[in-house]
Amino acid sequence: MSEAEGKLLTPLEILSKKTLKPILFLLIFPSLMGEIFISGGSPITVFLNPATWFWFTLSYGIPALFIREAWVRSKFNILAMLIWGVAYGIFNEGIIAQTLTQLNGDPAGAFIGYGTVFGIHLSWATFILTFHALFSVFMPILL
């Protein structure tokens, strides 16, 4: 093992090693892709509000960065990253937004009543978890 491989880098060394751009990309792009480009769920002007931008960065960017790092360090295959994406979707839609169990209204309104098991709308869950696995995790990491 070379000296460079065994050395732990300080935060300043990490940022100076051309990693700042990919880190910023993964902090910002997943929320843009999930909320604006693909779903159209939020207008782009939402990102002009610093509090909303900060919240989207916390709820989309930090998990995407964490999943990317776990995926790279563990040397798992693409399927593992997709499974992490589904887990992220459960976190985002099940815990944060709570749309997997909502009784009515947007965004799951058209899916309500089709295959509800233990209060979870399976049709909505299938759609939104696949969406998050692909567009909030998989695509931003591969880009």
Q: What is the structure's pLDDT at 33?
A: 79
Ranges under pLDDT 50 in the chain = 1-3
Could you read off the pLDDT of 69-85 as tens digits, one per residue?
888 888 888 898 899 99
Q: CA–CA separation, 80 vs 68, rounded Å?
A: 11
Q: What is the dihedral of CA 75, 81, 84, 89, to 10 degrees?
A: 160
Q: What is the structure's pLDDT at 1?
A: 40
Q: What is the structure's pLDDT at 84?
A: 92
Q: Are strands 120-121 and 116-117 parallel, antiparallel or unpaired?
A: antiparallel
Q: What is the structure's pLDDT at 85?
A: 92
Q: Which of 112, 107, 110, 115 is nearest to 132 (CA)?
A: 107
How many CA atoms lie less than 13 Å away from 36 in the CB half-sphere? 13
Q: CA–CA separation, 90 vs 63, rounded Å?
A: 12
Could you read off the pLDDT of 88-109 as tens digits, one per residue?
999 988 898 888 887 666 666 6
